[in-house]
Structure 1
Amino acid sequence: MTRSSHTDERDARPPGAPDNAEQADERRQPAELFRDLRTSPSGLTSREAARRQLVYGPNVLTRSGGRRWPGELLSQFTQPLAILLALAAVLAWAGGTPALSVAVVAVILLNAGFAFVQEMQAERAVEALAAFLPPTARVVRDDVRCEIAAKDLVPGDILVVSEGDRVCADARIIEGTLMLDLSSLTGESLPVTRSPEPSDETGSLLEAHELVFSGTTCSGGEAEAVVTLTGMHTELGRIAALSQRVHTERSPLEKQVRRATWIIAVVAVVIGAAFLPIGVAAGLGWSAAIGFSIGLIVANVPEGLLPTITLALAAGVRELAAGGAVVKRLSGVETLGSTTVICTDKTGTLTENRMRVTRLWLAGGEMDAARAVHEPRAALLAASAAASTTAEAPTPAQPQGSGDPTELAILRLAEELGVAIVPSQRKAARRTIFPFDAHLKRMSTVNDEAGATTVHTNGAPEAVLPCCTRLLDPQGKSVELDAALRGELSATIDGYAASGLRVLAIAHHVLDDGQKAPAERSAAESDLTLIGPGRHGRPRT
């Protein structure tokens, strides 16, 4: 949301819209927000939305300040090493070697131009953050759901968010439940649940259970939310603004280059000055001795050092950018490389945020997931787990895949065990889905498979085990899940959890011929047969 020419940042908000400093305001009840934002569950009218668009501006992230390229370009010529090269060029010209002088000047100009282009590309932090916003949004206007350009979203709109969508404004949920990936704002790799019921949290807005934020991704569920903040007033907009106000300091590499430049300059001048009396004493004339001294000074200046440093840093920036990292300055690459200790609990930020199934527990013992290729029960476990997912495995068009990292790990396991599931086939076979519930800690699907109706359930072991009455034994037969087996399972699960690993329990239930598919969740998630729990390793580095 841009600032109007006639209003300040606070006045540019809709009546009653919250200020980021006033967290309690943004967490008001829906009825209060509807009143203060002058909207309703039916959404804004097209006319009112157009009026607000003129007042509040487009829902985009903007760059503050004017043109910075003159200063950026000038800074390439004022680096210590560039100044030293310029002095060397002047001395070379004075010493009667204009060709060398022109070559040194060419090196300075080419390096400055290349470094300038790379710096301008690297500093596009706002553009990189803007990539988190989708091009379109689904809203309710004139009591009708429609799709509009995300930049046309205004405070008071009723935003519709469903699985796979990127949220394009800060909003308060009024109906439905979502699983949100907040890693772009918080660095947490695990999705969180958001619902209309307000929480008792009094800390950061990001912890509020009823709020969704611009730039985050919905990994499950569907909900409607009333938009409260757009553009630069969102949490993502605050990050964009902070990225433009950070005071830059010299990196370790810049300090070392500055120190090395002074050493080179002092050594070159001392050698040149020392040779002058030596040359005269050896019989050279003053003119020849001065010319030779200048040559020594120029020869001691490493003309190739500056472009070598620039090219090395540029290569690092491009490699990081290819991985989705935002790098503001070329020297930031070296700063990251010189870091020795990082204190953080955001493992999903520091790693690839990719989970992998490492162990499988099946009746009779556990096994390494990588060695379970010829185990029928392992294949059944992987197929059942994959059937109850909503994620999509990586494809050439989408190398990272889409969906929850844990579900992607399950799909990867199914592929490794030869029971990969094609999304289109999974969708065609699915009759009912009971989405993941944060309170129940499990999800289930009812599928048509090979002429039979099967219920597949996965979730936290403590949530799935109470729904199970039977267990798949080592011979692949369904046997009663007695107290002794439950105790063994609990001990195994506790051991996995103590190792800091995520554990899922997988169960299924094949309905008898003629038995109707359960319409209620409680009926579907009962009398299940436990196939086994699997544990997921930490995100890979």
Structure 2
Amino acid sequence: MSYEPAWRGAGPRGGVSGTAAPPESGPPAGLPPPSDGPPGDRPAVPSLSASEVYAALGTCPRGLTPAEADARLARHGPNELPGVGHRHVWRRLLAQFTDLFAVVLLVSSAITFLAYLLGQPRDPATLQLALAILGVVLLNAGIGFAQEYSAERTAESLQAMVPHTCRVLRDGEPRELSARELVPGDVVVLEAGDAVPADCRLVEAQDAAVNNAALTGESDAVTRVAGPVPAGPLLEARNCAFMGTDLVAGTGKAVVFATGTATEFGRIFRLTAAAPRQQTPLQRQVAAMARRVAGVALATGAVLFAVRVPSGQPFVDTFVFSLGVMVALVPEGLPATLSVSLAIGVRRMARRHALVKQLLAVEALGSTSVVCTDKTGTLTQAEMTVVQLWADGVSHAVTGVGYAPAGEVADAGPVRELLRAAALCSNARLVPPKGRDGWRVLGDTTEGALLVVALKAGVDPAVEEARTPRTAEHPFDSVRKLMSTVHRAEDATYLAYVKGAPLELLARCDSVDRDGRQEPLTDASRAEVAAAADGMAGQGLRVLAVARRRVDGPRPPIGDVESGLTLLGLAGMYDPPRPEVRDAVDTCRRAGIRIVMVTGDHPLTAEAVARRVGIVRGPRPTVVTGVQLDALDDRSLNALLAESAELLLCRVAPEHKMRVVTGFQQRDEVVAVTGDGANDAPALKHADIGVAMGASGTDVAREAAVMVLLDDSFASITTAVGLGRSVYRNIRKFLIYLFSHNIGELAPILAATFVGFPLVPISAVQILAIDLGSDVLPALALGAEPMEADVMDSPPRPRRERLFSAAVMGRILFLGGIQALGVCAVFFWHIHASGIPYADFTKDLPVYREAITMVQAGIVVSQFFNALAVRTDRQSVFRAGLLSNPWLLAAGCVGIALMAAISYAPPLQAVFHTAPLAASDWAVLAAFGVLLLAAEETRKWVLRHRRTAPKEGTR
């Protein structure tokens, strides 16, 4: 049915409960003066009558005059949320150079370039070193910038949710204006499908219902009324509509009382802007590691410089020597390797329907210990579905899920009149699939479910509505808990259909339909109906009762319509859980991850869903509402979070979510939060991992989050956590790989210093070639190791666990020590075999060039075997399969080929000061590599055969 909107001059629908507009004149006398000030000065508009609302806001039913509207616009500003000033691209790029490793290397490059300028004669090798270090910094910055270029657009997304135009009365004339021009006191006209442009108080309402999900998280459409309501929380005022919500049914006229940041939506904007973005555990650990490594590198270089200068070595040569030590300790390739390895994890997650916007969030997912999940759309399908009907003492099962009218009603004959009445007493509309969108409901989802089940039983609501047109309606309200409509039957009589809460409706019935016959409703019959309703409610179903009666005339009073009714039956419905969620919840339990439901829905609804998906298994879960949270101090909240194994938080506001997230974080938990509405944005941003819904979520939720679920399913979170844990294990592997060879680079330099050898066994340029040329590809291949089967069989690692644990450091020292012994042995063996005294060695001696080539090649070859060794912690690499990661073998071969080119190609020989190696030299280096692998396999064998050996990390 279509009705003319009020602003076109049509009156309210017949029989509709509404508030008549006062005479179109100025504000009546005797009321408080107009107030359009800030929120704290606003009048309590929900408790005022329509005429008092006009007076309090300094307006009238004709709306504001253009002059007054302009004056208020100048005073209040436009109805929009302020944009967030993003950093320019060049600022983002410059930020890549603030990493501590980058700062150390930039300073080193600058000092080296200065040493080149001051040296007499100037040494081209020093200039090459300065440019090489600068090139490393630029490479790392480019990779980091390309991977992490993602601006925060939360405020813009909030602004995008504000409608661009709206219909406004200005001086009695309807106008279509930009929503940003609205001011307090404007009179706006709303129709079904309109977005609400500001916070408004309804003064006329015809079958109006709004979807507040973006603000409150509540999935059901909520009926709006025009009359005054008792004072209470503003968001619960049934005569108000708020910016960012939608009118899903009916029409209305409303007076604006708040615009821009003064709205409830603006309050969420302020919370979101104020919420700090939390550092992930990996960010904290990498920052700490960078500080330690940089400190050790600078201190070691300074000490060696102080030791060599008094010995008579040239100042510039001594500085370059010390710089080589520092460069050997700084893992130049780590930032790039870390970024690209995390990017591999991002791509893997994207294939599993989880889009991660920030690279470091990949690893943080792996340390998640608490998931605060909402209900609708994440655990459930966000589609109310009737699953059971009851009529004449018999239950009728209903198949099919969602809004698609696919399925059937068991023995549908006896319930067709029940479904016909339910469909006629509804304002929702069922919209067929279009494009990518499937079946959906326009209006209340409960009524939509009734339309769907009617179609399943062969009852076409559109046909029935045409045969029995509606003549009057009494909308649902929370006092009566009923909705009724009046229809003209084909025989020109009038029938009333009523639906609502079973107990409320049953009290107004005096008969019951028995196979088409009307029989008195006895005490036994009432008990039977009540027991049927209780049985459905006990299954977690939302239960509606449906009744009818004949009435006199097209618009009888509500007392006649809703009394002396004949009960037709009951309908039980629920929002079905996603079929994959229960297995995902079981996986989280096995992995030691705690799941807390945080929802705006009713506690009984939340508990029913939580039981269906396995979040709640005990008889008495802890159910806490937002009002109860407000009454808890911080100590009580901490006790609640610590002691409640099965916790459900219901009827919560954005502030409650943020407080709970903060409470968990103060307990050293790593918290992931899911959400889809604007009300979720502050908590999503404040959490360690904010997870937004991609299909049903709002733009603001997606922008505030660091991960977006493309399929909206909780199961994708579980998969992403597993991948995150795998990423952490792989990061640990390539860190062992990278830092162990740093020992191999540093050891010959230190040895040369203490034995008095005047030259460096390996130059800084050679070290850079190893770090970027031979190490990066194998490290990336280690970062791409597949997810292990047991990754979700252990509890989350502690929030404060260090990336460089004692076990990791021990392994670095073990593998690095073997490499150090090998390269020192080949260097000094080559030097001593020449018979030349240390004091006579110069850079141009062929034997010296061969020796430093042996050191560089020794590190590269040993790292090939080292890469194979670190793939597993305890299991033999031969059992894991040497060929199971072909990319690693290929990367190792590329590194060795590059080393061969440095050894044999004259242009590269000139740059790196190297010499060609003999076949026997390569054989010796390979023998050292095999020795390293054998030693590591022996270590693993010992660990496997120790009864007290920890099982964590085995493959």
TM range (shorter): 0.7 to 0.9
Matched residues in 2 for 1:148 and 1:160: separation? 12
Question: What is the CA deviation profile of residues 311-356 of structure 1, one whole-angstrom value per residue up to 9, with x for unaligned ones?
Answer: 655897999999xxxx996656876775544568x64486554322
Aligned-pair distance for 1:192? Answer: 4.2
Give yes or no for the alignment of 1:387 onto 2:424.
Answer: yes
Q: How does 1:227-238 map to 2 (within 5 A)?
A: 227-238=256-267
Structure 1's 335 and 489: CA in aligned 2 closer, same or farther, altered over 3 A? farther
1:155 aligned residue: 184
Q: CA deviation at 1:534?
A: 1.5
Cα deviation code 1:211-235 (max 9, x no counterpart): 3321223344544322121122211
Which amino acid in structure 2 is aligned with residue 21 of structure 1?
G
The counterpart of 1:502, out of the listed 533, 537, 542, is 542
**1:373 is aligned to 2:373:** no
1:187 to 217, 239, 255: 217
Cross-structure match for 1:9: none
Aligned to 2:80: 60
Instruction: Letter of the 1:462 partner, please give it.
Output: L
Alignment check: 8 A CA contact 2:182 2:259 kept: yes
The equivalences for 1:132-531 within 5 A come to 132-176=161-205, 178-202=208-232, 204-255=233-284, 258=287, 301=334, 303-310=336-343, 312-313=345-346, 339-341=368-370, 347-348=375-376, 351=379, 353-370=382-399, 373-376=409-412, 377-394=414-431, 395-396=433-434, 399=438, 400-419=440-459, 421=461, 426=465, 430-438=469-477, 439-447=479-487, 455-473=496-514, 475=515, 477-508=517-548, 518-520=554-556, 522=558, 523-525=560-562, 528-531=565-568
CA distance in 1, matches of 2:68, 2:270: 29
- Residue type of the partner of 1:518? P
Asked if the contact 2:102–2:137 (Cα under 8 Å) also holds between the matched residues in 1, the reply is no
Quote the residue 1:5 is aligned against.
none
Structure-2 change in CA distance of 1:156 and 1:191 (3 Å): same
Contact (CA 8 Å) 2:66, 2:171: kept in 1 or not?
yes
Equivalent pair of 1:355/1:540 in contact (CA under 8 Å): no
SS of 1:130's equivalent in the other structure is helix
Q: Using the alignment, how far apart are the partners of 1:312 and 1:262 within structure 2?
A: 26
Distance 1:257 1:201, change over 3 A: farther
Report the CA distance between 1:505 and its aligned residue.
0.9
Q: Find the counterpart in structure 2 of residue 19 from structure 1.
A: 38
Residues 302 and 168 of structure 1: CA distance in aligned 2, closer, same or farther (over 3 Å): closer
Structure 1 vs Structure 2 CA RMSD: 5.0
SS, match of residue 40 in structure 2: coil
Based on CA coordinates, which of the two structures has the bigger radius of gyration?
2
8 Å CA contact retained: 1:137, 1:168 = yes
Q: Is the 8 A contact 2:472 2:554 kept in 1?
A: no
Counterpart secondary structure, 1:493? helix
1:532 counterpart (554, 560, 569): 569
Conserved 8 A contact 1:213-1:234: yes
After TM superposition, the structure 1 stretch with the greater mean CA deviation from structure 2, 107-116 or 70-79, is 70-79
DSSP 3-state at the match of 2:484? strand
Structure with more of its chain in strand, by fraction: 1
Name the counterpart of 2:160: 131
1:504 deviates by: 0.5
Whether the aligned pair in 1 keeps the contact of 2:136 and 2:332 (CA below 8 Å) is: no
Partner Cα distance (2:282, 2:396) in 1: 49
Partners in 2 of 1:73 and 1:318 — Cα distance? Answer: 29
Which amino acid in structure 2 is aligned with residue 436 of structure 1?
P
CA distance in 1, matches of 2:243, 2:87: 27
Amino acid at match of 2:156: E
State how far apart, in whole Å, the 2-side matches of 1:81 and 1:420 are.
70
Which structure has greater helix proportion? 2
Structure 1 CA distance, aligned partners of 2:363 and 2:510? 58
Given that 2:430 and 2:442 are in contact with CA atoms closer than 8 Å, whether structure 1 keeps it comes out as yes
Number of residue-to-residue matches in the alignment: 500
Query: Following the alignment from structure 1 to structure 2, what is the Cα–Cα distance between the partners of residues 87 and 472?
Result: 89
**Equivalent position amino acid for 1:520 in 2:** P
Give 3-state SS (helix, strand or coil) of 1:437's partner.
coil
Equivalent AA in structure 2 for residue 248 of structure 1: R
* Structure 2: distance between partners of 1:22 and 1:89: 61
Change (3 A) 1:17 1:52: closer
Cα displacement (A) at 1:430: 3.3
Q: Deviations over 1:438-482 (max 9, x none)?
A: 033222334578888764432211233244444343x55554433
2:235 counterpart SS class: helix
Equivalent residues of 2:544, 2:571 under 8 A apart: yes
SS at match of 2:384: coil
SS in 1 for 2:426: coil
| Alignment partners' CA distance in 1, 2:490 and 2:288 | 73
Report the secondary structure of 1:518's partner residue.
coil
Change (3 A) 1:526 1:114: same
CA contact (8 A) 1:361 1:533 kept: yes
CA contact (8 A) 1:507 1:530 kept: yes
Q: Partners in 1 of 2:556 and 2:506 — Cα distance?
A: 19
- Kindly provide the amino acid, as one letter, of the partner of residue 500 in structure 2: G
Change (3 A) 1:209 1:411: closer
Deviation at residue 489 of structure 1 after TM alignment: 0.8
Indicate the SS of the match to 1:206. helix
Asked if structure 2 preserves the Cα contact closer than 8 Å seen for 1:351 and 1:540, the reply is yes
CA distance in 2, matches of 1:41, 1:468: 42
Rounded to whole Å, the distance in 2 between the matches of 1:362 and 1:241 is: 52
For the structure 1 residues 333 and 364, does the alpha-carbon distance in structure 2 shift closer, same or farther, using more than 3 Å as the test? farther
Alpha-carbon distance in structure 2 between the residues aligned to 1:82 and 1:215: 44
- 5+ unaligned residues in a row in structure 1: which ranges? 1-13, 270-286
- For residues 32 and 435 of structure 1, do their structure 2 counterparts lie closer, same or farther at Cα, with a shift above 3 Å needed? closer
Which amino acid in 1 is paired with 2:276? H
For the residue of structure 2 that corresponds to 1:40, the secondary structure is coil
Secondary structure, counterpart of 1:43 in structure 2: coil
Matched-pair identity in %: 33
Given the superposition, is the C-alpha separation of residues 364 and 197 from structure 1 closer, same or farther in structure 2, using an over 3 Å criterion?
closer
User: 1:153 corresponds to which letter in structure 2?
Assistant: L
Query: 1: distance between equivalents of 2:444 and 2:199?
Result: 22
Q: Tell me the CA shift for residue 107 of structure 1.
A: 6.4
Residue 387 of structure 1 and its aligned partner are, at CA, apart by 3.1
The answer as to whether partners of 1:163 and 1:222 remain within 8 angstroms in 2 is yes
Q: Answer yes or no: is the 8 Å Cα contact 1:431–1:447 preserved in 2.
A: yes
Q: d(CA) in 1 for partners of 2:96 and 2:499?
A: 58
**How far 1:488 sits from its partner (Å)?**
0.8
Preserved contact between residue 201 and residue 241 of structure 2 (Cα < 8 Å): yes
Matches of 2:371 and 2:508 in 1, distance apart? 43
- Secondary structure of the structure 1 residue equivalent to 2:506: helix
Pair 1:112 & 2:112 matched: no
Name 1:284's counterpart in structure 2.
Answer: none
